[in-house]
Amino acid sequence: MYDFKGKVALITGAARKRGIGHATAIRLARCGADVAVNGRYRPPHELPEEEKAEGWRGLDSVVEEIESCGTRGLAITTDITDRKQVEEMVAQVIDRFGHIDILVANAGVYMPQPFLETEEEQWHRHIATNLTGVFYCGQAVARHMVERKGGVIVNVASISGKVGRPNVSAYAASKFGVVGLTQVMALELAPYNIRVNAICPGRFLTDMSDYARAASMADERGISVTEAAHIIHADAVQFTPLGRLGHPEDAASLIAFLCSDEASFITGQSINVDGGRLTAH
């Protein structure tokens, strides 16, 4: 268990129950950090059945869990593709907690589509959320960290940001961009004692990736989303040497390590957390 007492973390994309952002928020809170969480409003019809059945309330539920760990939480609904909203979000966190020590830029979208069928709107949405949003959040928080002469930033990329594969042209382009952006940020911010790394998840059991893939396959094959999800999971496990899909907590553990003093000599890296899948590629 790492010691983040006195630290303040801002985590984007944390509203989903089965998501890396949520798992990371709770992991850091359990280590003593005060945590501000960001997400977008999702109307009821967009909520997974599991969340509906459990009475999940998005960011409000996350904050309740954070505070149950004995630390302070703050929920902020922000569109990270809007620079002004991002700057206001950062100012709100600083006003509430006094400073920001950790940024986890996790918010993202995933809409698989064959290259020749990818529409302009899908392309722009991927780039705006997955890449430009990381840039906006990173720049706004880094300016504050420069003044404080220290901090940690972790960007959530993907193994699709290292190796291309079919049907994810927009997603892969955005994640390749995050890997490159992470390296540049690390080099330019190192003189201010700010470390910047990325994690590259493989196939994970998360609401975003599961639903998007399953919905696409269900539409193509004329089967239910549940049936499609079972097929996808079986295929993914087959190509993962460790024989299972990742859980959000697996990513949260790596993020917690990178944010800790144990990783004080690590910066500019994009670390796979994929059960060996990319190695076996």
On whether the pTM is more than 0.85, the answer is yes
Q: How large a percentage of the chain has pLDDT more than 70?
A: 95
Kindly state the tokens that stand for 36.
């501000």
Kindly state the tokens that stand for 277.
């899948």
Q: What mean pLDDT, rounded, does the chain reach?
A: 93
DSSP-assigned beta bridge partners for residue 74: 36
Q: Which of these, 46, 57, 106, 49, lies nearest to 229 by C-alpha position? A: 49
Q: Please name each of the domains of the chain with its CATH number.
A: 8-203+248-273 (3.40.50.720)
Which residues, including other chains, have CB under 8 Å from residue 91's CB and lie 6 or more apart? Answer: none
Distances (CA, A) of 160 to 110, 156, 177, 218, 277: 11, 11, 11, 22, 11
Question: What is the β-pairing status of strands 8-11 and 194-201?
Answer: unpaired
> Annotated active-site positions, please?
171, 175
Mean pLDDT, range 19-41, rounded to an integer? 96
Q: What is the pLDDT of residue 228?
A: 77
Per-residue pLDDT tens digits for 175-201: 999 999 999 999 999 999 999 999 999
Do residues 5 and 32 lie in contact, with contact meaning Cβ atoms separated by under 8 Å?
yes
